[in-house]
A = this chain, B = another copy of it.
Amino acid sequence: MTRRSTRAYKSLPVEGEKLKQVIEAGRYAPSGGNSQTTHFLVIRDGRVLEELAMLVKQEFSKMEETPGMYKSMANAIRASKGETYVFHYFAPILIVTANQKDYGNNIADCSCALENMMLMANALDLGSCWINQLRWLNENEVILDYMRKLGMADDERVYGALALGYPKTADGLPSRTPLPRNGNPVTLI
């Protein structure tokens, strides 16, 4: 109930033990037919994050908005054409979830893993935010090539990612005031 997205991070590193707990929460998420094919690429290297942010900006800035495009994706394209655009909000860690491209539950499995990691992050006073940009670019050759250099297999694609780190807030804690749930309707049958 108290999980919220964090979009500003301190440049502090995250303790290895906490990071491990977050990853393990993701690894223990359910998977279709217990396939366990979610691949967690955990980027802590600042130089790699900087390169990746530069490539994401570069590739998005080549794209154009189209009518009816998913709003958040259109926002990313618009923002990428500005001077500064850092898709992962300068978080010190980005956990990329990849999965088999021909597997029917790839998005669902990665989503469950991401949700588990967000809940564990919140329980550990860490901030986190779902990041879609690498999924939107998951057939982009430049990004594919870079992800493969980082260890992603040829038959894998990115289906989501998580920014992770200590929130840049006055008290250092993630915001925990739940957003009102006016949507998400329920029909009782």
Contacts and interface: CB of A to CB of B under 8 A. Distances in A.
Nearest to A181: B27
19 contacts: A1-B25, A5-B30, A30-B118, A31-B184, A36-B181, A36-B182, A36-B183, A37-B184, A39-B184, A40-B185, A41-B187, A42-B186, A42-B189, A43-B189, A45-B189, A70-B105, A111-B115, A151-B189, A152-B187
Q: How many copies does the complex hold?
A: 2
B42 A30 contact: no
Given A37-B184, A41-B187, A68-B102, 7 more contacts: A23-B186, A44-B188, A70-B103, A70-B104, A72-B104, A107-B108, A111-B111
Contacts of A32: 70, 72, 130, 132
A114 interface: yes
Interface of A: 1, 3, 5, 23-45, 48, 68, 70-73, 102-105, 107-108, 111-116, 118-119, 130, 132, 150-152, 160, 178-179, 181-189
B28 A178 contact: yes
A187 B35 CA distance: 18
A37 B71 CA distance: 14
A108 B111 contact: yes
A1 B25 CA distance: 7
A5 B187 CA distance: 24
A104 B138 CA distance: 14
A109 B164 CA distance: 19
Contacts of A103: 70
- Between A25, A41, A184, the greatest number of chain B beta carbons within 10 A of the residue's beta carbon is seen for A184
B189 A44 contact: yes
A38 to B, nearest CB: 5
